[in-house]
């Protein structure tokens, strides 16, 4: 027969065997999780590498277009400076005489209009006096 120490040893051995089996199941599941993680990382790598190549190509094309836009912007800036200079030149050479001519013609028109108005007023007054 078994003694008390042997029974206790047998119980401890059975619990230890059960513990080892549970740990084996946990390790097997952990192995499956690691395998799935490896597949996931491999899939992400397979999809990401071509995507990074496309992004690099897109950035290269955008940079080329930005160089063109920069050239266009500098040309527009140059044209704006030329137009500003031309406007200043026009204002300096022709602007003052044109303003003087416009002011003179306005004065002449106003004087002629006032004379016509005064003449009309005199006629109306003369007709009113004659009609009384």
- Return the SS3 of 1: coil
Average pLDDT, the chain: 87
Residue 115 lies in a domain: no
Structural domain total, the chain? 1
Distance of CA 60 to the CA centre of its chain: 19
Residue 9 lies in a domain: yes
CA–CA distance, 39 with 114 (Å, rounded to integer): 99
Residue 45 lies in a domain: yes
Per-residue confidence band for 30, with pLDDT thresholds at 50, 70 and 90: very high
CA–CA distance, 101 with 18 (Å, rounded to integer): 115
Residue 70 lies in a domain: yes
Question: Which domain, by its residues, includes 7?
Answer: 1-95
CA–CA distance, 111 with 43 (Å, rounded to integer): 92
Residue 75 lies in a domain: yes
CA–CA distance, 129 with 132 (Å, rounded to integer): 5
Tell me the per-residue pLDDT of 63-102, one tens digit each, with 9 for 90 and over: 999 999 999 999 889 999 888 888 887 777 766 777 777 7
Per-residue confidence band for 48, with pLDDT thresholds at 50, 70 and 90: confident
Residue 68 lies in a domain: yes
Residue 49 lies in a domain: yes
Angle at 60 between CA 56 and CA 61, to 5 degrees: 120
Residue 126 lies in a domain: no
């Amino acid at each position: 027969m078994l003694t008390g120490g042997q029974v206790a040893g047998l119980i401890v051995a059975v619990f230890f065997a059960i513990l080892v089996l549970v740990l084996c199941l946990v390790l097997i599941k952990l192995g499956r999780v690691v395998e799935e993680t490896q597949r996931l990382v491999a899939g992400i790598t397979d999809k990401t590498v071509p995507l990074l190549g496309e992004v690099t190509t897109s950035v290269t094309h955008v940079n080329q277009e930005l160089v063109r836009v920069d050239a266009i912007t500098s040309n527009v800036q140059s044209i704006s400076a030329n137009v500003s200079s031309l406007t200043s030149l026009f204002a300096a050479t022709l602007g003052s005489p044109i303003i003087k001519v416009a002011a003179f013609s306005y004065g002449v028109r106003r004087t002629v209009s006032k004379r016509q108005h005064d003449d009309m007023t005199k006629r109306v007054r003369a007709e009113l006096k004659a009609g009384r």
